[in-house]
Amino acid sequence: MPIYNLNQLYTFYLVVSLKSFSKAAKKLCLTEPAVSIQIKTLEDTIGSQLLIRTKKTFVLTEAGRLVYEYAEKLYDLILDLDSKITSVVKDSKSFLAVGTTKYLASILLPKLLTVFLDLEKDVSIRLDEGSSMEIIEGLTEGYHEIAIIGRTPYPRNVVEYIEFTSVEIFPVASPKSPLANRRLDITDLNKQPLIVRDKNSAIRFNTVTKIAGTQFKPKFVIESGSTDLIKEFVKQNRGYSFLPWFAVEKDLKAGRLILLQIPELKLQVPVDIVYLKGKNLSPLGARFLEFLSRIKRPTLEETIRGLEEKGPRAP
């Protein structure tokens, strides 16, 4: 089967469409003899004469009409491809996929993206939610360009990360809990059931996983990826849990939950900006990373307060 040269087919298409070798040569920035050579080479490849030249014009052979018909279809396809590629490239410059956890999506991202979108006009952002480990998996598979997540054991040979802020985690229980209203040692927690986040959660990794050992031997009763469900079971006095401040603040003020008094226990989840190692960020992704670097603060509370106070010009 002969291998057709697309340049030669395009040259032939132009000659026939413009009804002129000289006009085709001008459009292609070639000499007229160079155009003639391309047509002759195409004829040699096909094994048939495509057009018969006269002094002032030319006529197509039957093979020439067939080749022109298909060359025209190829030209239309190339134009369509060019249009779609242009659209994709344009959209990619103004589109950003961000992955984050459900907690940060509800507490931080609405304020953060509001400020960023006030600074960046005519852009679109897709926000994907999941556990920290699920978001990392999506990052490595190309679903997200940048992730804002609680720290977990990252695949260090695959991703880069920058610490963005931190979330303080508190031990909470029902006011009716046997652990309530007294100073506790960490070993006291072993006597009561623990309602815990799922294993893919950064909160789980930075609390239970980190402090589990000879002194702390948790007794799991319920495991869930839903903060609301965990809070509901804690309110029912089915166990205690470790939760971030914003998730429990209203319930603490309303007396539905209490903080357990464990002076020796200080828990924090570092929140990181994560992206793939060795891969250049898109222009919009690079600007988003620079924006995050400007607004970052030591704690989540300070970060949110800074966004609320400074608005679009948050430093």
The CATH number covering residue 124 comes to 3.40.190.10
Spatial CA neighbour of 6 closest among 58, 63, 77: 77
pLDDT at 262: 92
Say if residue 276's pLDDT is above 50.
yes
| Distance separating alpha carbons of residues 228 and 10, to the nearest angstrom | 63
| Distance separating alpha carbons of residues 173 and 236, to the nearest angstrom | 9
- At 171, the pLDDT band (50, 70, 90 cuts) reads very high
Contact 98, 144 (CB under 8 A): yes
121 shares its domain with 245: no
Number of H helices, E strands in the chain: 13, 11
100 shares its domain with 64: no
| Distance separating alpha carbons of residues 211 and 204, to the nearest angstrom | 10
60 shares its domain with 126: no
Say if residue 86's pLDDT is above 90.
no
- Tell whether 61 is covered by a domain: yes
- Tell whether 234 is covered by a domain: yes
294 shares its domain with 304: yes
| Distance separating alpha carbons of residues 191 and 189, to the nearest angstrom | 5
Say if residue 28's pLDDT is above 70.
yes
The CB density around residue 21, as the number of other CB atoms within 10 Å, is 20
Residue-number span of the structural domain to which 79 is assigned: 6-91
Q: Calculate mean pLDDT across residues 183-209.
A: 91
pLDDT (tens digit per residue) in 114-161? 999 999 888 889 999 988 999 999 998 888 999 999 999 888 788 999
16 shares its domain with 53: yes
Q: Given 91, 115, 145, which residue is the final one in a domain?
A: 91
- Tell whether 75 is covered by a domain: yes
- Tell whether 25 is covered by a domain: yes
Question: At a CB cut-off of 8 Å and minimum separation 6, what does 138 contact?
Answer: 99, 128, 130, 144, 147
Who has greater pLDDT, 19 or 54? 19
pLDDT at 161: 94
Burial class (CB in 10 A: 0-12, 13-18, 19+), 77: exposed
Residue 57: both structure tokens together: 């014009």
The total domain count for the chain is 3
The CB density around residue 51, as the number of other CB atoms within 10 Å, is 21
For β-strands 159-173 and 241-244, DSSP reports them as antiparallel
- At 111, the pLDDT band (50, 70, 90 cuts) reads very high
- At 315, the pLDDT band (50, 70, 90 cuts) reads very low
pLDDT (tens digit per residue) in 31-76? 888 888 989 998 998 889 999 887 778 889 999 899 899 888 888 8
252 shares its domain with 233: yes
Say if residue 4's pLDDT is above 90.
no
- Tell whether 64 is covered by a domain: yes
- Tell whether 246 is covered by a domain: yes
304 shares its domain with 157: yes
Main-chain dihedrals φ then ψ at residue 95, nearest 5 degrees: -125, 135
295 shares its domain with 157: yes
| Distance separating alpha carbons of residues 288 and 162, to the nearest angstrom | 13
Q: In whole angstroms, how far apart are CA 33 and each of 9, 29, 37, 179?
A: 16, 12, 6, 95
Residue 171: both structure tokens together: 């031990």
| Distance separating alpha carbons of residues 30 and 37, to the nearest angstrom | 11
Q: Given 62, 91, 120, which residue is the final one in a domain?
A: 91
CATH number at residue 85: 1.10.10.10
In three-state secondary structure terms, 76 is helix
In three-state secondary structure terms, 128 is strand
135 shares its domain with 210: no
- At 85, the pLDDT band (50, 70, 90 cuts) reads low
Residue 279 CB-half CA count within 13 A: 19
- Tell whether 141 is covered by a domain: yes
Is the pTM of the predicted complex or chain greater than 0.75?
Answer: no
Who has greater pLDDT, 112 or 279? 112
| Share above pLDDT 90 across residues of the chain, in percent, rounded to a whole number | 51
Say if residue 169's pLDDT is above 70.
yes
| Distance separating alpha carbons of residues 266 and 33, to the nearest angstrom | 83
pLDDT at 61: 92
209 shares its domain with 278: no
Mean pLDDT of the chain, nearest integer? 88
Main-chain dihedrals φ then ψ at residue 262, nearest 5 degrees: -130, 85
Burial class (CB in 10 A: 0-12, 13-18, 19+), 117: middle
- Tell whether 1 is covered by a domain: no
43 shares its domain with 123: no
CATH number at residue 175: 3.40.190.290
Q: Calculate mean pLDDT across residues 276-299.
A: 92
172 shares its domain with 262: yes
